[in-house]
Chains A and B, each alone.
Chain A
Amino acid sequence: MDEETKSKLRAHSYAELARRRGESGPYEPAGDAGEPIIRLELAEKVLNLCRANSLWPMTFGTACCAIEMMALGMARFDMSRYGAEVFRPSPRQCDLMIVAGTINRKMAPAVITLYEQMAAPKWVIAMGNCAISGGPFAVRENYNVVEGVDRLIPVDVHVPGCPPRPEGLLEGILKLQEKMTGTRFPFPQFRPPREKKSEK
C-alpha cells in the first residue's frame, strides 16, 4: 500500500486531521466547486449548522453494506435522531452520498455522473471496505472492481468494516457533522442541560 492511501485510511475526517495538526475550526476546502463567491462568515456558520443537522443522503446501496445502511434508517438505530434520515432517490435532492458497497468498472461512470448531479455543497461517505479500498476484491485477479471510491470522487469520511455496524455508519455521519461545523454534536439538543442559577 502506498503512503498516500495509508494516510487516507488513517484520517477518518478532515476535522480530525486538523485537530492532529493543532488547528482549530471547521475544515474549509480550497477551490471546492461548492464554495460560494461571496463569503459571509456568520451566515456561513449558521448555514453549516443547518446543513449538518439536515443531511439528505442518497439511496445508493450497491452491495451488502446497504443492508446496514437500511438498518440505520429504521427504528432501532434511527439516524433521524441526527437529522439524516431523508433518503432521496434523486441526486438533485441530496447533499450526502453514502457509497454503500462495491463499485465496479461498469458502475464507475454512473457514480461520477450521480456525484456531479448532486446539489452543492455535497459530501461523500465511503462505507465499508469495498468502497474504501476494494476490500476482498483488491487481489491480483481483480479485473472489474474499482479499488476505492476515492479514485473516482472525493471522499469525506471513510467508515471501515465488512460491513460496518449501523453504529459505525452513524459515527461516520457524526464525524461528517464534525467536519462541517467543527464541533461534535452540533445540534443544540445534544448539549448538556444548563444548571439553573438559583434565584435568591
Chain B
Amino acid sequence: MTQLIDELRGLPAQVNEVDYRKRGYHIEVLLSAGEVRRFAGILRAHRFYLVFVSAVHLAPAIEVIYQFASHSDPCRIIGRAQVTDDGSIPTVSDIFAGANWHERETMEMFGVVFSGHPYPEPLLLPEDAAGLNPLLKGEGGVKTAEQVRWPAGDGT
C-alpha cells in the first residue's frame, strides 16, 4: 500500500490519507487533468477496479471524480481532477472499459468533453437534448471547492 501511495505522489499529485469512517474512502488524490491517464494506469497495475466516474460543478472549473476500489486490499481511492480551460479531460475508457458509459453520462450531464472517447454520444438523455447539461448549476449556485470540501484537518 505504501508503494502505491509513493507511486501516486510521484505522478505528481497531492495524496491525502483520510479517515474512512468519516469520508467513505481511504485515500484522496488531487491531480491535474494531464495526469488522469497515468493515475488510472497505476491503479490498473495494482489491480484496482473502477467504481464510478462523475463530476461536480465547482468554480472555477468542473471537477471530475474517479473512485476506485480493490478486491485484494480493503481500500477505496478517490481521484479529483479539474477539467482544462476548454472543458476537456483525457478519457480513461481504454484503460478501464467500465468508464465508457460513466464518461458518456458525465459528458451529457455536465458537458465535460472526454477527449479520445471512442463513442461520445448521450447515454441517458434523448438524442435531441444535446447541450442540455441538466446537472450544471444555475447562475449563483456555483461554489468553490473550499466551500463544499471537508475542512482541512477534519477527518484526516
Total A-B residue contacts, Cβ distance less than 8 Å = 13
In the bound complex, residues from chain A placing their C-beta under 8 Å from that of B124 are 106
Binding site of B, secondary structure by majority: helix, strand, loop or mixed? loop
Within 8 A of B (CB), among A39-90: none
In the bound complex, residues from chain A placing their C-beta under 8 Å from that of B126 are 105-106, 108
Q: Which residue of A lies closest to B132 (CB)?
A: A143
Q: Which residue of A lies closest to B133 (CB)?
A: A143
Question: Nearest chain B CB to A184's CB is how many angstroms away?
Answer: 41
The reply on B155 being an interface residue by CB < 8 A is no
In the bound complex, residues from chain B placing their C-beta under 8 Å from that of A105 are 125-126, 129
Within 8 A of A (CB), among B126-142: 126, 129, 132, 134
A108, B126: Cα distance in complex, Å: 10
Task: Point out the residue from A106, A108, A144 that lies within 8 Å of B134, measured CB to CB.
Answer: A144
A106, B124: Cα distance in complex, Å: 8
A143, B129: Cα distance in complex, Å: 10
In the bound complex, residues from chain A placing their C-beta under 8 Å from that of B134 are 143-144
Scoring A residues 83 to 115 as 1 if CB is less than 8 Å from chain B, else 0, what string do you get? Answer: 000000000000000000000011010000000
Question: Nearest chain B CB to A48's CB is how many angstroms away?
Answer: 38
Within 8 A of A (CB), among B113-151: 124-126, 129, 132, 134
In the bound complex, residues from chain A placing their C-beta under 8 Å from that of B125 are 105-106, 144
Scoring B residues 19 to 57 as 1 if CB is less than 8 Å from chain A, else 0, what string do you get? Answer: 000000000000000000000000000000000000000
A144, B126: Cα distance in complex, Å: 9
In the bound complex, residues from chain B placing their C-beta under 8 Å from that of A106 are 124-126
A108, B132: Cα distance in complex, Å: 17
- Which among B126, B129, B134 has the highest number of chain A CB atoms within 10 Å? B126
Question: Nearest chain A CB to B38's CB is how many angstroms away?
Answer: 36
Question: Nearest chain B CB to A103's CB is how many angstroms away?
Answer: 12
Q: Which residue of A lies closest to B129 (CB)?
A: A105
A81, B129: Cα distance in complex, Å: 45
Within 8 A of B (CB), among A117-161: 143-144
A144, B134: Cα distance in complex, Å: 9
In the bound complex, residues from chain A placing their C-beta under 8 Å from that of B132 are 143
A106, B134: Cα distance in complex, Å: 14
Question: Nearest chain B CB to A125's CB is how many angstroms away?
Answer: 25
| Smallest CB-CB A-B distances: 5 pairs | A106-B126, A143-B134, A105-B126, A143-B132, A106-B125
Q: Which residues of A contact B (CB under 8 A)?
A: 105-106, 108, 143-144
Beyond A108-B126, A143-B134, 4 extra complex contacts between A and B, CB < 8 Å: A106-B124, A143-B129, A144-B125, A144-B134
Interchain Cβ contacts under 8 Å between A and B, 7 examples? A105-B125, A105-B126, A105-B129, A106-B124, A108-B126, A144-B125, A144-B129
